[in-house]
Amino acid sequence: MHNNPSDLIIVDQLSKYYRVANKQPGFKGTLKHFFDRRSYDVPAVTNISFKISQGEVVGFLGANGAGKTTLLKMMCGLIHPSTGLVDVGGFSPQRRQTAFLKEITLVMGQKQQLIWDLPPMDSLYVNAAVYGLSDHEAKARINELADMLELGEELTRPVRKLSLGQRMKSEILAALLHKPSVLFLDEPTLGLDVNAQARVRSFLSEYNKRTGATILLTSHYMADITALCPRVICIHKGSLFYDGDLDSLANSLSPSREVKVELKNSCSSDQFEKYGEVQDLNDRFVCLLVSRDKLTDVVSNLLTDFDIIDLEIGDPPIEQLIGELFIKGDIN
Amino acid sequence: MKRYIKTIRLFWSTAFASQLEYQLNFLIELLAMLGTLLGSVFILSLFFTGGRQLGDWTWESALVIQGVYTFLDGLTNALLRPNLTEIVNYVREGTLDYVLLKPIDSQFWLSVKKFSFAGLPEIILGLSIVFWAATQSGTSFSFYLLSVFIISLFVGFVILYSVWFLIAASSIWFVKTWNATEVLRALLAAGRYPISAYPVILRFIFTLVLPVAFLTTFPAEAILGELQFNILFFGLILSSLFFIFSRFFWKFALKHYTSASS
């Protein structure tokens, strides 16, 4: 494998199998399981390869159980790979060397590290000590980040009395105290309301611009991905099936575009069938799916054939495309 | 090293602050501790009234053992129980991930994160009993005697810690460990009485298989000036082996850590 110096993260033919014991139901099964234990390997991630350059923001997409979290945890060194190689900034993550750990951070939306009964400030100073920051450095860093995250007196209120949004922002502050250059974010906006999500998103994008940190993110909210990640990596059933920019993902997922038309008079759906697939027809509003290569012809035909008040062309929502994809199972 | 000392200081000051956060609970904890102390004193008073001998120990020297036991029990309540019983939760809830990604030894973090101040009075009482009873039985304290006593106490504590940590570390596989705390408390409680008070077969087991003798009897012998040097030497080697094994076992366990899923 050729190593380009700009590649910060190299993942090469990475796989992870979990050993799972197979137990038949019932008492007989239990006995059999006790004396003759049969186990088999369940693949969580199979043969994934990609490279990520410094400063990139990459989104990991996939249904629940697709292997996103396992992949992320192998990259930050929590899970030992079964086969294959991970290299993050020249380090082998699973060795968890101090120099490596000082460069990375992990934020998990559904797990917290702040001490529940105390204000975030106390936990922040504990973290500062663990990372060997002086009180002076810690203070400056906390002020800087609190400013960016719009956190004020929340930092001196017990964590249990904070709202989920405030708590998540404090968690992010705690995770970034040591100026990590690689951020692993596992669903950082989980459970937040729309405003709080937007604030976390704008913070992350600002942080990326200011510090040039590399951000790897998984999320169930498509809005996170579309707002933050120019590049996405899609994982399906443990394998990689797409790695590239978000726009071409939409193209490859759906070869059609959406044409929305507002008519002067109401029409029936069979009048539109020759132009494209009718998605929706409601009195004077029609929504058509038209393949990309026919788009210009269809639009000019529509304009000559009907009395049209308004016409709008767009991509079908990516959320819907990916949702369909995960339901359907396989892309090709 | 400086970083570790500063970290411990912050761990314990936040632990103290957490405990003070619930005023009523803290008061109740103080009361419960007072109750425990009164209980220990009552049991001790039984030794006074009986005037009997346990094994070949006079009651004063048996009292020294009670003192060592009380001291270790206090240390258990202050340090071992709050930290080591928490390991299961770290594993089950997946917050162990955060600990493992800190640039600090994870065994260190898991072993000293908390400190329960309610254990302190028991520690002080234990030491007071040891010194009072040792004086009563005619010990003249010397620097050498005190050093041997401190070393043998340390040996006992390290063995207790290592065994406890080993069991707690196995939660990486079993997630919910069987109630290990109770087993270890029973082990420690077995050390309330001089080893020679037990039948020969138990004496053998408590010295070589489950090193209960090292927890209480040998430190007590040390302050009474009766500990043989080769036993102290053996204890040092044994406790080092236990400790090294606990570290090795932890590293081994982490290779099998799969992390709680999201």
Domain coordinates in residue numbering, chain B:
2-260
If 0-12 CB within 10 Å is exposed, 13-18 middle and 19+ buried, where does residue B163 land? buried
Which regions in chain B score pLDDT beneath 70?
44, 47-56, 175-181, 208, 259-262
CB B14 to CB A18 under 8 A?
A: no
Of A53-62, A87-96, B163-172, the poorest mean pLDDT is in B163-172
C-alpha–C-alpha distance, residues B242 and B160, integer Å: 9
Question: Is residue A2 predicted with pLDDT exceeding 60?
Answer: no
Question: Is residue A273 predicted with pLDDT exceeding 90?
Answer: no
CB B21 to CB A96 under 8 A?
A: no
Residue A236 near residue A45, CB atoms below 8 Å = no
C-alpha–C-alpha distance, residues A160 and A120, integer Å: 10
Counting residues of chain A whose pLDDT is more than 70, the rounded percentage is 95
If 0-12 CB within 10 Å is exposed, 13-18 middle and 19+ buried, where does residue A144 land? middle
What token pair was written down for B107? 């065994």
Instruction: Out of B3, B100, B262, name the one closest to residue A129 (CB).
Output: B3
Instruction: Out of A79, A96, A132, name the one closest to residue B259 (CB).
Output: A79
Question: Is residue A59 predicted with pLDDT exceeding 80?
Answer: yes
The size of the A-B interface in CB pairs under 8 A is 77
The pLDDT value recorded for residue A163 is 93
Q: Which residues of B fall within a CB distance of 8 Å from A132?
A: 3, 103
The pLDDT value recorded for residue A332 is 44
Residue of B nearest to A159 (CA): B18
The pLDDT value recorded for residue B47 is 65
Question: Does domain A7-250 bear CATH number 3.60.150.10?
Answer: no
Question: Domain A255-314 belongs to what architecture?
Answer: 2-Layer Sandwich (3.30)
Task: Please give the radius of gyration of chain A, using alpha carbons only, rounded to the nearest integer.
Answer: 25
Distance from CA of A120 to the nearest CA of B (A): 11
The pLDDT value recorded for residue A329 is 55
C-alpha–C-alpha distance, residues B193 and B198, integer Å: 8
Instruction: Out of B17, B93, B255, name the one closest to residue A111 (CB).
Output: B93
The closest alpha carbon to B54, from B242, B231, B194, B202, belongs to B194
Residue of B nearest to A77 (CA): B101
CB A132 to CB B3 under 8 A?
A: yes
C-alpha–C-alpha distance, residues A18 and A24, integer Å: 19
Q: Note the pLDDT tens digit of each residue in A117-166.
A: 999 999 999 999 999 999 999 999 999 999 999 998 999 999 999 999 99
Q: Side chain identity at A67, as an amino acid letter?
A: G
Q: Phi and psi of B193, rounded to 5°?
A: -120, 155
Q: For CATH 3.40.50.300, list the domain ranges present in chain A.
A: 7-250
Q: Which residues of B fall within a CB distance of 8 Å from A110?
A: 262
CB B262 to CB A126 under 8 A?
A: no
Residue of B nearest to A124 (CA): B10
Distance from CA of A294 to the nearest CA of B (A): 44
C-alpha–C-alpha distance, residues B32 and B38, integer Å: 10
Residue of B nearest to A95 (CA): B255
Q: Which residue's structure tokens are 């082990």?
A: B187
If 0-12 CB within 10 Å is exposed, 13-18 middle and 19+ buried, where does residue A248 land? exposed
Q: Note the pLDDT tens digit of each residue in B93-105.
A: 889 999 999 999 9
The pLDDT value recorded for residue B7 is 94
The pLDDT value recorded for residue B48 is 63
The full length of chain A comes to 332
Residue of B nearest to A103 (CA): B103
Counting residues of chain A whose pLDDT is more than 90, the rounded percentage is 49
The DSSP H or E segment spanning B27 is helix B23-50
Of A67-71, A168-172, B236-240, the poorest mean pLDDT is in A67-71
Terminal Cα-to-Cα distance of chain A (whole angstroms): 27
If 0-12 CB within 10 Å is exposed, 13-18 middle and 19+ buried, where does residue A169 land? buried
Q: Identify the sign of the CA torsion B94, B99, B105, B106.
A: negative
The pLDDT value recorded for residue A133 is 94
Q: For CATH 3.30.70.980, list the domain ranges present in chain A.
A: 255-314
